[in-house]
Structure 1
Amino acid sequence: MSTSLPGDSANKDQAREPLRLMLLTHSYWPEHSPPQRRWSSLTREFQRAGWKVDVVTPVAHYPNGRRDLPRRQAGYAFGTQTGPHGEKIRRVPYLRHLGKSPVARLIDQLFSAILSVPVGLGGKKPDAILATAPSLPTLATGYVLSRLRKVPLIVEMRDAWPDLARDARLVQGSVKSVVERAVDFVQHRADLVVTVTEGFAETLRSRGLRNVATVSNGLDLRSVPFLDPPAEDRDVFHALYLGNHGKSQRLDIVIRASALLGDGFHLTLVGTGTNRQQLVKLARELKAPVSFYPSLHGSAVLEKYREADTCIVSLRDDWKSFETTVPSKTYEVLAVGRHVTAIVKGEAKRIIEEAQGGDVVPANPEAVASLWRELATDRKRLTAGQSGREWVRDHADYAELAHHYMDQIACLISRRKPVPSTERVS
């Protein structure tokens, strides 16, 4: 679940000392996004342990690139809010844009990151600054603020940057791009780099980084119910995907699989993303039995899980960086007890197999269609049991992950503190 750093055992007592942490993130409460879900949960546990968390983040405008919530919820530019767990949230301005444009999002993030510097210089001095990616400008802000405030910098890499940029052909050529050099620069100068997978942590260590720890993604297990298995007698087989509709997921594969199966099968895709319109068009052209829904939350998500026979976890197999990537929805699907159709490799594949949560299948429509045909014929295989939920309890419950994170931060800070003069060796 996490990788210990040297000195952890010797500093166990200090790991519970309340500290003040400044969190820099491009998305936070009340938005619904992967960094929001992760850090709202972690912040709750930090605050419960007596820590103080100061969040510097833009006015809430995800995912549409504009403020859709009332100001009292979304926050005011350069204003301060009290978060749901007692944390202090300081808001910075953003640039209104169309949420579907990657370039516009990058410019928006760069704009907010620059304005986060003066905001981050205000307030009480933190014991450490934590900047979370994949908003790469946020990493630069963290580096600048850590130097100006003279406190340790923690860089959290939730995606495999800069490897992902090469796989996605955001950068090309044999010479490192400016983006790659910037990420590499910050990673090597951070006091601690936190990854969400062990695989990417090993990748960074192979590049010479020694100050690397892993605190995986997860969920609040207490808030996720375990559902009854699907009915054994059912006329239509239902497959469900919840999450981003982008290049990374290759959802065209499951649409083509559903088209091969036709009557008696139905695919439901829930979410938004840059490829959504193309996927809708593909489903229409193939006359595939597919329904599309916008992003859902709370009870609406649970209802979709109840309707599903299997849930899809998918990452394209031709990007090497995804061998060390685990889709965050993996933990939720395992926790609710639904069978997983896993179109993944590497660490994500290992987790599904360890948790005995479903079937791993190659990334091609014929293989997916064949699996679903088998599952529809032998529906007893859809009863995933408690093994997936037990795996999440042991490895991915934020109530426990937060304490491992606090241990890592506290040990880092204790090593950075100067030795009092009375204890110096002459």
Structure 2
Amino acid sequence: MVSSLPRDIDAVNLALPMRLMLLTHSYWPEHSPPQRRWVSLTREFRRAGWNIDVVAPVAHYPNGRRNLPRREAGFAFAHQRGPHGEIIRRVPYLRHLGTSSLARFVDQLFSAVMSVPVGLFGQKPDAILATAPSLPTLATGYVLSRLRRVPLIVEMRDAWPDLARDARMVQGSVKSLVERVVEFVQQRADLVVTVTDGFAATLRDRGIRNVVTVSNGLDLSSIPFLEPPASDREVFQALYLGNHGKSQRLDVLIRASALLGDGFHLTLVGHGTSRPQLVKLAREIDAPVTFYPSLQGAEVIDKYREADTCIVSLRDDWKSFETTVPSKTYEVLAIGRHVTAVVRGEAERIILEARGGDVVSASPEAVAQLWRELAADRSRLTSGASGREWVRNNADYTKLAVRYMQEISALVRPEKAVPQERGQ
């Protein structure tokens, strides 16, 4: 991970602040993974004097339609000020049913095409950064970087195109159009940024010439550290917050809770394409599960406070997930709750290194057995501050942003670059 970062932005020798164009399929005021990452990074970039132009659709995540007042969501082909003074240039979107993967892709494709003319307006940036997994955004970044003749930075927040094959979006040995487009852009980008060391190594093995890691993270100062759960609770409470999709295999957790019955309860918070099937499954097997929609702010902290253990989960039959770390991992570690980690690879390494909880295989029986043991010996739920300290040293956005600015500065103005150590 990032271990040799300067402690603050003042440590970065950026004689001439830059103008960065960010292409993303979701941004403030939405609540989404790219929004959480890039609002935090943008804040630090702006503190260093950088100008940020964000090109993003009118806010409509996650339901495929505008859920906010027009003044907040933005107007197509107009611009607005973001929370840190950045300029957000809005593009139109296609209204759709949020649970349809195909409709969501068509929407992203439409917005990506509309982003090309929008990205040609305004002052010329020093570099263009396109963040995936919205794959059409990568193509937009490539086109705009060539039209405006500036370096292209591609940020891969998921392990594409590997994930496409694991998810059976790609069949057989012949490469799909998706794979070819992603690899085409990756190979021609001036810099590829990954969020895990493992996927960075994979790309280097494929001959991608300039790859660095800037992991996901959080604003540690905004996350409280909770006292351990009470030792005399009658019901063992397990909590999952996040996406309800195929990647998470949350059916394993529901089946585990059904095996345990009385004295155990599972809370699932969030949304996703698999949620209707998960609700149906819980009802059919009479599992002690409560579903909540996505929550924000104090409501999330309340759920953490009620929990004995918090779950991070990725299915173990997709090889690409060996180099994937669920972004919620950092939040659970920082808040001080025991982690039930149904993960492998790099995510497993982080949990064990941070001494944040237990890693368990993705089977209902294994998860149920772990929860029985934790309920019988509640002293194991006191994970201490080691997880928070790990986050402080490796995943605090105030430090991650410094690393990012160093990398962009070295790309755009190599003569002014500050020597630094890169993870391999």
TM-score of the superposed pair, with normalisation by structure 2: 0.95
TM alignment of 1:20-419, pairs within 5 A: 20-415=19-414
Q: Alignment partner of 2:227: what SS?
A: coil
Q: Alignment partner of 2:266: what SS?
A: strand
Q: Alignment partner of 2:123: what SS?
A: coil
Contact 1:229–1:338 (CA<8 Å) still a contact in 2? Answer: yes
Task: Provide the identity percentage.
Answer: 79
Cα distance in 1 for residues equivalent to 2:63 and 2:251: 23
**Ranges in structure 2 where 5+ consecutive residues have no aligned partner:** 5-10, 417-424
Amino acid at match of 2:276: Q
Contact 1:310–1:382 (CA<8 Å) still a contact in 2? Answer: yes
Contact 1:16–1:410 (CA<8 Å) still a contact in 2? Answer: no
Cα distance in 2 for residues equivalent to 1:253 and 1:46: 41
Pair 1:2–1:155, CA change in 2 (3 A): farther
Cα distance in 1 for residues equivalent to 2:247 and 2:346: 16
Contact 2:126–2:151 (CA<8 Å) still a contact in 1? Answer: yes
Contact 1:225–1:336 (CA<8 Å) still a contact in 2? Answer: yes
Contact 1:25–1:57 (CA<8 Å) still a contact in 2? Answer: yes
Amino acid at match of 2:164: A
Q: Which runs of 4+ in 1 moved over 4 A?
A: 12-16
- Cα deviation, residue 2, structure 1: 3.9
- Cα deviation, residue 351, structure 1: 0.2
Contact 2:12–2:406 (CA<8 Å) still a contact in 1? Answer: no
Contact 2:3–2:394 (CA<8 Å) still a contact in 1? Answer: no
Cα distance in 1 for residues equivalent to 2:388 and 2:202: 29
Pair 1:60–1:296, CA change in 2 (3 A): same
Contact 2:53–2:89 (CA<8 Å) still a contact in 1? Answer: yes
Pair 1:68–1:13, CA change in 2 (3 A): closer
Cα distance in 1 for residues equivalent to 2:237 and 2:343: 20
Matched positions, count: 410
Cα distance in 2 for residues equivalent to 1:338 and 1:157: 29
Contact 1:313–1:341 (CA<8 Å) still a contact in 2? Answer: yes
Cα distance in 2 for residues equivalent to 1:415 and 1:383: 47
CA deviations on 1:45-76 (whole Å, 9 max, x unpaired) are: 00011000000000000000000100000000
Q: Alignment partner of 1:233: what SS?
A: coil
Cα distance in 1 for residues equivalent to 2:15 and 2:313: 38
Pair 1:285–1:13, CA change in 2 (3 A): closer
CA deviations on 1:13-59 (whole Å, 9 max, x unpaired) are: 65463100000000000000000000000000000110000000000
Cα distance in 1 for residues equivalent to 2:352 and 2:165: 29
Aligned-residue CA RMSD (Å): 1.3
Cα distance in 2 for residues equivalent to 1:83 and 1:25: 14
Amino acid at match of 1:126: P
Pair 1:385–1:118, CA change in 2 (3 A): same
Cα distance in 1 for residues equivalent to 2:363 and 2:67: 38
Cα distance in 1 for residues equivalent to 2:395 and 2:278: 31
Amino acid at match of 1:159: D
- Cα deviation, residue 171, structure 1: 1.3
Pair 1:195–1:257, CA change in 2 (3 A): same
Q: Alignment partner of 2:413: what SS?
A: helix
CA deviations on 1:391-413 (whole Å, 9 max, x unpaired) are: 00000000100000000000000
Cα distance in 2 for residues equivalent to 1:234 and 1:248: 32
- Cα deviation, residue 173, structure 1: 1.4
- Cα deviation, residue 233, structure 1: 0.9
**Ranges in structure 1 where 5+ consecutive residues have no aligned partner:** 5-11, 418-426
Q: Alignment partner of 1:156: what SS?
A: strand
Amino acid at match of 2:304: Y
- Cα deviation, residue 415, structure 1: 3.1
Pair 1:172–1:3, CA change in 2 (3 A): farther
- Cα deviation, residue 182, structure 1: 0.3
Cα distance in 2 for residues equivalent to 1:120 and 1:236: 54
Contact 1:16–1:407 (CA<8 Å) still a contact in 2? Answer: no
Cα distance in 1 for residues equivalent to 2:309 and 2:291: 16
Greater mean alpha carbon deviation, residues 15-24 or residues 186-195: 15-24
Amino acid at match of 1:335: A
Cα distance in 2 for residues equivalent to 1:136 and 1:244: 19
- Cα deviation, residue 414, structure 1: 1.1
Contact 1:3–1:213 (CA<8 Å) still a contact in 2? Answer: no
